[in-house]
Amino acid sequence: DAGVTQSPTHLIKTRGQQVTLRCSPKSGHDTVSWYQQALGQGPQFIFQYYEEEERQRGNFPDRFSGHQFPNYSSELNVNALLLGDSALYLCASSPPGQGPYGYTFGSGTRLTVV
Amino acid sequence: LAKTTQPISMDSYEGQEVNITCSHNNIATNDYITWYQQFPSQGPRFIIQGYKTKVTNEVASLFIPADRKSSTLSLPRVSLSDTAVYYCLVSRDPSGGSYIPTFGRGTSLIVHP
C-alpha cells in the first residue's frame, strides 16, 4: 500500500524563481494538506485541499498557491521565491470525512533558495 | 487556537519508560489530542490520538486527565531507534470544516545506550 509520495525530493532554486512541488496522497485518501517546516521548527500549515478546492489556509502570502486534481493528487506552487522559503515542504493526506483522523505525511521536498 | 507547551528536549536510556507531558490549557470541547514522531528529513509519523482518559496501541499509551488541559505520551522500554522529535498537537476544527493539525516545536528525545 503506497503511502504519500512527494516529488522531487530535493530542489535548488534561485531567488525570484517559481517552483512547483507535487504530491500523491495515500490510496483511499481524498484530502491533501501542505506544510512548511523550517530547520529546527515544527511544520507550519499552509493550506488544505478537498474536492479540488482550497478548504483551509494558514498564515502564508498569496505567493503560495495550490491545486488538487480529480485523482486527488496535488501541487504546491510558490512564486517569487525568497531566501526564507528554504524549508522542507511536507504533504499530508487524510481519509474521507471530516473527523480528526491521523494524517499520513510524505517524506517531503527539501527546497533550497539561493 | 489551543497552544501546546512541551519540553524542548529529554534524555533517556535504552529499556526505560519515557513519559512526555504536554499542556494545552485552552483546549476546546471538540479538539482531539494527537502525537506524532519525526525523524530527520522525514515527515511526521502518527503515533496515537485521544480525546479523554487513556488510549493504548502497539507502540504507545496516551493519558488524558478529566480536565483535558494536559496529556502524557508514554513510550514503554525505549530503544535507540526511538530517538526523534515528538510533537503534541491539538487537532482543531476551526469552522465546522476539517480538523487541521497544528504543530508546536516538539520535544527532542535522545535515547542513550
Tell me the pLDDT of chain A (114 aa) as tens digits: 569 999 999 999 999 999 999 999 999 999 999 999 999 899 999 999 999 999 889 999 999 999 999 999 999 999 999 999 999 999 999 887 756 667 899 999 999 999
What is residue A71's predicted lDDT score, i.e. its pLDDT? 96
Distance CA B106, CA A77 (A): 27
Map residue B37 onto helix, strand or coil. strand
Extract the C-alpha cell encoding B5.
Answer: 507547551
Dihedral, CA of residue B25, residue B75, residue A108 and residue B103, to nearest 10: 0
Nearest to A56 among B31, B32, B98 (CB): B98
Instruction: From chain A, pick out residues whose CB is under 8 angstroms from the CB of B39.
Output: none
Residue B53 pLDDT greater than 80, yes or no = yes
Judge: A45–B106 Cβ closer than 8 Å, yes or no: no
Map residue B10 onto helix, strand or coil. strand
Where is B22: in which H helix or E strand?
Answer: strand B18-23
Q: Residue A41, exposed/middle/buried by CB under 10 A (0-12, 13-18, 19+)?
A: middle
Distance CA A108, CA A30 (A): 19
Nearest to B101 among A4, A41, A103 (CB): A103
B80 touches chain A (CB under 8 A): no
φ, ψ at B31 (rounded to 5°) = -85, 145
Residue B1 pLDDT greater than 60, yes or no = no
What is the identity of the amino acid at A46? Answer: I
**What is the arithmetic mean of pLDDT over B53-61?**
94
Under the banding of pLDDT at 50, 70 and 90, the label for residue B26 is confident
